[in-house]
Amino acid sequence: MSNPKTKLRVSLLSTGNEVLSGDVTDTNSIFLTKQLSDIGLPIEQKRVVGDDLDSLVKAINELSHESEVLIVNGGLGSTVDDLTSEAVSMAAQTQLIENDVAKKHMEDRFGLEVLKKNPQYHQQLLKQTMLPKGADIIDNPVGIALGYKIKINGAICYFAPGVPREMKAMMEQGILPDIQESFSLPPALKIRKLRIFGIGESQVQQRIHQQIPDEEFQGIHLGFRASSPFVEVKLGIDDADSLPLLEKIEKRVRDILASHTISFGEMLPDTMIELMVKHKKTLSLAESCTGGTVASQLTAIPGASQVLEAGLVTYSNQSKSDLLKVPEDLIESEGAVSQAVAEKMVMGTLSTTGSDYAISITGIAGPTGGSDEKPVGTVFIGWGDKKSIYSRKLLIKRERQVFQSIVSSVALDLLRRYILNLPTNIPYFFDDYTRAELFK
């Protein structure tokens, strides 16, 4: 076991032509960085290398010379462009050998009888059982290719597949615990998180520092992470003795940001599912310009079946009339993108589905279709129940997909506020109609 270190140098290496070219977004390194940060290990270096053997060997050698821990992601599969294990054998100056544990794991996953009927496929899969001699296996609880660790140039190097769910399971169940044990790390930082919606990162920081002087944060790590349209506030401590101070500061920050705090770590769709389940209520949606984005966000969450009654994409004017009973003459006189139509869409959704709550969205996502009266980015969001129906007009001038994502989040936030008896007329930093209110 290594001696404890005050500063452990940790590096990441992502592999694959698709990652290097940008065809695939490197969400794995984002996840890895966050997981390591949460146990007090910031990343010192991060590199991306394509499917080139010489480049892989060079990167592994250089990063292992400069780090105590190197985590390499990708290239452990069975195709010709999966070169990581070969590169490791060259960097570690060892040979590739068939690993009995990896072979049994692969055969158990597929079933030996199935593989015997497909000998060519079986032979191809055997490639991912050829691992560097001396490597210690890291289990893959959700996939075929096992990970492993091996010491190279004095660094402990961990290797995991590039498939996100496999990498995440391996990281949480194998790699992180091994790092903590191998380096006698102290217990993970105590971290509290608040997820903020509606105000920007600089405004969040300004509000906190206006009411809590810097000296009161002695012993507290205050951090911010913007992931549009949300901001995550993190409060952390290094030792258990600071826990009372953490709780005190956390309460004050919660009070300062209460109006905009949607959760304490969870994403907004998770928060909404939990809220609706708690109140034993159901929800239906009538989406136009967001094209089912809200429904997609909710159905990605386990437990959505307890909450979501129906999701209707009433994109055309005719569908609004046929499915939601919005009068054709109202659409003609007010326009499909209007307060009156948004509220009628809520009413029709409640009537058609019988759900407890409904949300409607109708707007102009762009880049065309706007006018002087209703420019691109104009959107009306309706919400309510059988007792009361409300709506709100916003102007969100963003690229089409970003517009859809923000509008979907606003729709959920407005219903959340309605259920919790919070004000729904608050200014949002991304809404041109109300943003100036935040700076008064």
pLDDT of residue 209: 92
Mean of pLDDT over the chain: 92
pLDDT of residue 352: 96
Overall average pLDDT of the 358-382 stretch: 96
414 or 124: which carries more pLDDT confidence? 414
List the CATH code of the domain at 10-182. Answer: 3.40.980.10
Architecture of domain 190-263: 2-Layer Sandwich (3.30)
In angstroms, the CA 59 to CA 295 distance is 43
Contact 391, 339 (CB under 8 A): yes
Provide the pLDDT confidence category of residue 132 given band limits of 50, 70 and 90. Answer: very high
Amino acid at 366: G
Contact 234, 193 (CB under 8 A): yes
Overall average pLDDT of the 131-157 stretch: 94
The pLDDT tens digits of the residues spanning 185-211 come to 765 557 788 999 999 999 999 999 999
pLDDT of residue 15: 95
Taken as a whole, the chain contains a residue count of 440
pLDDT of residue 3: 40
The pLDDT tens digits of the residues spanning 60-92 come to 999 999 999 999 999 999 999 999 999 999 999
CA atoms within 13 A on the CB side of 11: 19
Contact 153, 66 (CB under 8 A): no
Tokens of 189: 């930082």
For the segment(s) 268-439, the CATH number from 2.40.10.220, 2.60.40.1250, 3.90.950.20, 3.40.50.2300 is: 3.90.950.20
pLDDT of residue 92: 96
pLDDT of residue 335: 96
Sketch the domain layout of the chain as residue ranges: 10-182, 190-263, 268-439
Provide the pLDDT confidence category of residue 6 given band limits of 50, 70 and 90. Answer: very low
Overall average pLDDT of the 229-235 stretch: 91
pLDDT of residue 186: 60
CA 259 to chain CA mean position, Å: 23
Residue in 194, 191, 189, 203 with CA at minimum distance from that of residue 254: 194
Q: Which long-range contacts (CB under 8 A, 24 or more apart) does 99-104 make?
A: 99/129, 99/130, 99/131, 99/135, 99/137, 99/146, 101/137, 101/146, 102/128, 102/129, 102/131, 102/137, 102/146, 103/129
Per the DSSP assignment, residues forming a β-bridge with 438 are: none
Provide the pLDDT confidence category of residue 133 given band limits of 50, 70 and 90. Answer: very high
Spell out the residues 6+ positions from residue 98 whose beta carbon is closer than 8 angstroms to its own.
126, 129, 130
37-51, 69-83, 415-429: least confident range: 37-51
Overall average pLDDT of the 234-238 stretch: 82
Overall average pLDDT of the 398-418 stretch: 96
